[in-house]
Each structure stands twice: as structure tokens, then as C-alpha cells.
A = this chain, B = another copy of it.
Amino acid sequence: MAAARENMSYRDIKQVVVDRIQNRIWAPDSLLPSETELAEEFSSTRTTVNRALRELAEEGYLERKRKAGTRVLNAPVRKAQFSIPLVRDEIAETGASYRYSLVEQTLLAAPDWLAARLELTQGRQVLHIRCMHYADNAPFQYEVRWIIPESIPEVLEADFTQSGPNDWLVQKVPFTNLEISFMATKADQAIAEFLDAPAGDPVFTAERITWLRGAPVTLAKLYFAPGYRMTTHI
């Protein structure tokens, strides 16, 4: 069968390994030859084989343990990757025009549920923003957001009438920790009105919490217009 070929790149090796897994030459739960042996078979080096196997492990095909060796995973715990783009970009990518509109901006005391969610001490001041994102003038996403000025004081001077808090935050808050949840919620009166959907209808919802070096910066609830699907291929 597959005789040793010359000049196999780590990509080639990945492909061969995946093929063998898919064709059950290496069945689920079975042990692969050691890196050294594979390097020999592929007339390659252990470094190159290592990279191939390491990436396949990251992709969920293999499990690797020192001494134990490399094993084919049977559970397809394949990792789905979603990129979480800015609404603006998400809309632009479909070729539609993007429009933003501010609905409300107020400074208020953090409601209890928010304080609990973000682990704030009570009575903290927060900036509350509601806004809309349109694609080709049709409602695309209704955004309800809370920002903690204590974590990012400049926000009190920011102007959200022309562009959304998302755009602003991206410029101000470099890279942080995120928690993203997806769920289905029932459209209340406000959501229904802004998304132009019947009240009570199901709405695909994302909740996104952002931290900057341990301090909570913002919580956003993103309500998507009816028909929205989040899709990925692996």
C-alpha cells in the first residue's frame, strides 16, 4: 500500500493520517505508531510528524499522551469554531448596507441581576444603551448593553449617536476575556417592535460579557431578527 514518499510536508502527513482514520486503517481507540516510526515511514523528521499530529489533536481527531502514545478518538468531539464578528462586518459580508441607530442612552444604578451577573458590588453606576443595527434598512439586530464606567471611564465621554458601542469598545478595549452564550428567547414588546416581529415569537439571542484584566467591562444582549441562523462548517 502507501509506500514511503519523499518530501512529505506536515500537511501531507495530516491528510494521510485523516485518510487512514476515515478508512478505518487506524480504527477509533487504536494506537498510532510513535512519532519516530511515522517519521521513518514518511521519510520525514520527528519535528514534522509532531506538528501534523499535534494539529490533528487540536482539531479533535487524536488524543496524545506521553508514554501512552497517540490514540484515535472515537467520540467526534470535533470543535466547532465560530468567529464572532462585529455586526457591521457581519452585515457588510452579505453585501447589504449597514445602518446604525441609537435608541436610548442612560446612566443608572446597576440593577441587582446585572450586579450579580458581573459580580459587582451593589449600587454601581452603569451606562445603559439600546440600539439597532439594520441591514439594507431591515432590522437585523437589536442590542441592549450595559457598560461599567468604573472599568473604562472614557465611556462617559463617548458619543454613541453615530456609531455603536461595539465599534467604540473595540477601539478602546484591546483584548480581554469573553463569555458568550447563545439561547432562544421570547420577544417582549420592545424586542418585537424593534425587530418588526410578532411579540412572543422566538428570537435567537447572544449574550456577551467582556472583561478587561479581570474587571467586568460590559454585558451585551444581542437579539437577532427572525430567521437568523448561526452556521459553521467543520
Contacts and interface: CB of A to CB of B under 8 A. Distances in A.
Interface string A212-234: 11000000000000001111111
The copy count of this chain in the complex is 2
Contacts of A171: 28, 74
A89 interface: yes
Which size bracket describes the interface of A in this complex?
A: 35 or more
Contacts of A5: none
A84 B75 contact: no
A201 B186 contact: yes
A51 B175 CA distance: 20
B82 A75 contact: no
Interface in A13-41: 18, 21-24, 28
Interface string A28-61: 1000000000000000000000000000000011
Given A203-B202, A205-B184, A177 B234 contact: yes
Given A182-B204, A186-B202, A234-B178, A79 B78 contact: no
Interface string A161-185: 0000000001100111111111111
